[in-house]
Amino acid sequence: MSLIRARDLSLEFGGNYILDQVDCSLEQNSRVGLIGANGSGKTTLIRLFLGLLQPSSGEVLRARNCRVAWLPQDFKLEPDITLLEHVRASRADLISLGDEIDRLSRELAATHSAETEARLNLCVERYTSLGGYEFENELKYVLTSLNLPPDIWNKRCGDFSGGEQTRICLAAILLLEHELLILDEPTNHLDLAMMAWLERYLLKQAKPFLIVSHDRQFLDNTVSSIWCLREGQISITKGNYSSFKAADEIACLSQERQYERQQKFIAETQAYIQKFIAGTRTSSARSRQKMLERMEIVKKPGQQKQLRLPVAAGKRSGNDVYTLTNLCFGIPPELELARELDLKAHYRDRICVIGPNGCGKTTLLNILLGEHEIMGGSLKTGASLDIGYYDQHQVLLDDSLTVMETIWQLVPQAPQGYVLGWLARFGFRGDNVDKKVHVLSGGERSRLYLCQMIHENPNLMILDEPTNHLDIDMTDALLEALKAFSGTIIFVSHDRWFLSQLATKFWVFRKKTSPEGIYTTVEEPDCDWQRAIELSFEEPELTKAPPPPRERKKKVNPWYLEQIHLSIEQGGQRLGELQNELESIHAELSRSETYAEPGRLSTLQTRMAELESEIGTLENQIDEWEEQYLRQSYEQ
C-alpha cells in the first residue's frame, strides 16, 4: 500500500489553481526529488500531504500509522532550551523509558520486589527493542557530521546563528522515528562536506524520502524519481535530475511539434468545412466537423517566461583588482582565521572562494569590501572599482517598502513603466510588484536583492551565496548573465553545479602545518573544482621529529634480558585473567536479576573498581618492562 496517495488533488486560491487535478503517490521505496519554480506549489503540496491544508477537490489517502518526519524551511527553535535537549526530544519515548529504568533500578536496590523486577525487565526489553542503546551513538554521529561538536551541545538554541539553527533542526528531524522523510531545502546552510555526508546518510538509511531542492548535483546523487510542478500540473520522470532534464527537453519539443501539426490540420479542416458545408460536399464537410468535435486536442506547450538578466558593467576597472601580500586576518584581538595569504585578482576573473562553514569566507569578502580590518600584511585595491555586493542575509533590503518602491528609490526620476519593465526581467509582474518586502519568500527576496544590485551597474561583483533560495530557472538565468558579465566576479557558493560552470579560479581555505602546529591559509591551486573542494577539507598530517640517535653502551647480561621477558609474559597472563573477571562482572551487571539480590550490586561495584585499579597498575608496569627490554636489547 502507498504511504501517501493524492487523487485528482486541486487547490484554488482567489480563482487561481495552485494545483489542478494532481495524481501522485509515495511508496515504500520512493526516493523523490520535488522541483519547480518559486511559488509553483511545492510546499503547498507537502502541506496537503500532511493534512495541514484542505484541498478544494480531490483527496489525500495516508497509510495508517505512517510516521512522517518533516523539515520545513521556516522551522523555529525554542530559544531557552539547549541544543542537546532539543535533539534528544526527537526520541522522547527513549528518554522517558531511560528515566523509568533508572527509577526502577534505584527502587529495586533499596527494596526487593518481584513486581518491581518484572516492570524493570519489561522496560529494559522495550528500551532495547526501540534501539535505545544505539540512539546516543547515532545522536553523536549526526551532530558531529553537521559540524555541531560536543562542546556546544549545552548552549541555548537562541544563542546559535540562523545557519546553525537550521542544522540543529535537520539533525533532530533525521533522528526522529519515521516511515517517510520529507525535507524542504535541506542543503541550505550546509557546506560542501556536509552535503556529501547527507547524501550518503540518506542512501544508507534505505527509507523512502521526498526532497524539495534546487541543487541539481544533490538531486543527481540522491533521488530516483523527479516530480516537476509546472502550471498546477505534476510530471513524474524516473531517474535523477539529469535524466529528467534530458527527458523534459525531448517531451517539450515533441509536444510543441504535435501541437503545431494538429493546429495546422485543424485550420485546413475548418477551411474545408467552411467552403463546402453549404455546397455539393455537405455530407463530407459535416463528417469532418464531427471528427473535429471528437478530436482530443493537444495542449499548447506552456510558454515559460525566459528570464534574461540585464547584467552590464559600468566603466572598466584596472587590470589588477586586488593584491594580497602576506595577509593575516581574523577576529580581533586574538582569533586568527587565516594567515600568509598571497593572492591576486585580475580583471574579468571569476574566483570562487571555497572552504568549510565558519572558516572565514564571509570575513574575507568583507576585507575586500573594506569593511573589516586585517591583522597583518597588506591589501592593495585596484583603481576605478564600482563594487556590487550580494549579501546572503539581504540586510540592506527595507522591509517597509514595496517591491516597486525598492527599485524606484534608486531612480526617482524614472517613469513607472521603466521600473515595471526592470522588475519584470527578474520575474516580478502584476500584483507582485505591490508586495511589501517583509512578506516576500526567500526566493523572492533573493531576486529583489539581485535586481537592486545589478541596477547599479558595478564592474566588480562580490557575491555571498547568490543562489540560496533561487529556483533552478532563476539560477540558470543568473549563471548565463554572470558568464556574459564584462567585469570581475568573486563569489562564495555551495552549489557545486553553479561554481563548476562559472569559476575560472579558486581561492581555497587550507590547513597547513608549521613547527608551532596547524594553521589556516588561503591558496590558489591550479586544479579543477572537485580537487579544490577536496583540498579545502583535507586534514594535514603532523610529522613527528625523528628521535636523536642513541649512544651504544656496554653489553647487557643475556640472563637479565631473559628475566625481563619472563616478567612481561607473566604480567600479560595475569592481565588477561583480570580482564576476563572484569568482563564477567560487566555481563552480570547487564542482567536485571542482579538487582534482585540485596547487597550484590554493591559487592560487584566494589570489586569492579578494584579490578580497574589493578589492571591500570599492571598495564603501566608491563609498559615499563617492555620499554626496559627494548632499551637493553638495543644496547646489547
Listing DSSP states for 365-414 in one string gives HHHHTT-S--SEEEEEE-SS--EEEE-TT-TTS-TTSBHHHHHHTTSTTS
Residues 6+ apart with CB under 8 A from 594: 588, 600, 601, 604
Judge if 427 and 362 occupy the same domain.
yes
pLDDT score at 429: 86
C-alpha cell at 50: 500532511
In this structure, are 365 and 271 located in the same domain? no
Report yes or no: 402 and 433 within 8 Å, Cβ to Cβ.
yes
Q: How far apart are the C-alpha atoms of 174 and 445, rounded to whole Å?
A: 29
Q: Give, in order, the Cα–Cα distances in Å from 254 to each of 51, 241, 264.
A: 37, 20, 15
Q: Are residues 480 and 587 in the same domain?
A: no
Instruction: Report the pLDDT value the prediction gives residue 598, as an integer from 0 to 100.
Output: 61
The helix (H) or strand (E) run that includes residue 475 is helix 472-484
In the 8-state DSSP scheme, what is residue 324? E
Which pLDDT does position 517 carry in this prediction? 85
pLDDT of residue 514: 85
Look at the chain and count its residues.
636
For the chain, the domain total comes to: 5
**pLDDT of res. 544:** 59
Q: Is residue 124 part of a domain?
A: yes
What's residue 609's pLDDT?
A: 79
Q: Are 311 and 485 in contact (CB under 8 A)?
A: yes
CATH for 213:
3.40.50.300
Q: Is residue 150 helix, strand or coil?
A: helix
> Is residue 528 assigned to a domain?
yes
- How far, in Å, CA of 369 to CA of 360, rounded? 14
Asked whether residue 72 is domain-assigned, the answer is no
Nearest to 224 by CA among 241, 199, 207, 248: 241
The helix or strand, by DSSP H or E, that contains position 345, with its residue range, turns out to be: strand 335-346
**pLDDT at res. 337:** 93
Domain limits for position 192: 1-67+178-239
**Which residues 6+ apart lie within 8 Å of 332 measured at CB?**
373, 375
Confirm whether 542 is domain-assigned.
Answer: no
Helix (H, G, I), strand (E, B) or coil at 508: strand
The pLDDT assigned to 551 comes to 56
The predicted pLDDT at position 315 comes to 84
Kindly list the distances between the CA atom of residue 285 and the CA atoms of 226, 264, 278, 298, 346, in Å, as whole numbers in the listed order: 46, 17, 9, 22, 72
Q: What pLDDT is attached to residue 143?
A: 94
Three-class SS state of 464: strand
Best CA proximity match to 467, nearest among 505, 441, 485, 494: 494
Q: Are residues 467 and 387 in the same domain?
A: yes
Is 262 within a domain?
yes
The list of the chain residues with pLDDT below 50 reads none
pLDDT per residue over 477-528, tens digit each?
A: 899 989 989 899 999 999 999 999 999 999 999 999 888 888 999 999 999 9
Q: Establish if 34 belongs to a structural domain.
A: yes
220 lies in the same domain as 95: no
At 529-561, the pLDDT tens digits run 999 999 999 888 766 556 666 555 556 667 777
Beta bridge partners of 519: 512
Do 187 and 334 lie in one domain? The reply is no
pLDDT per residue over 172-216, tens digit each?
999 999 999 999 999 888 888 899 999 999 999 889 999 999 999
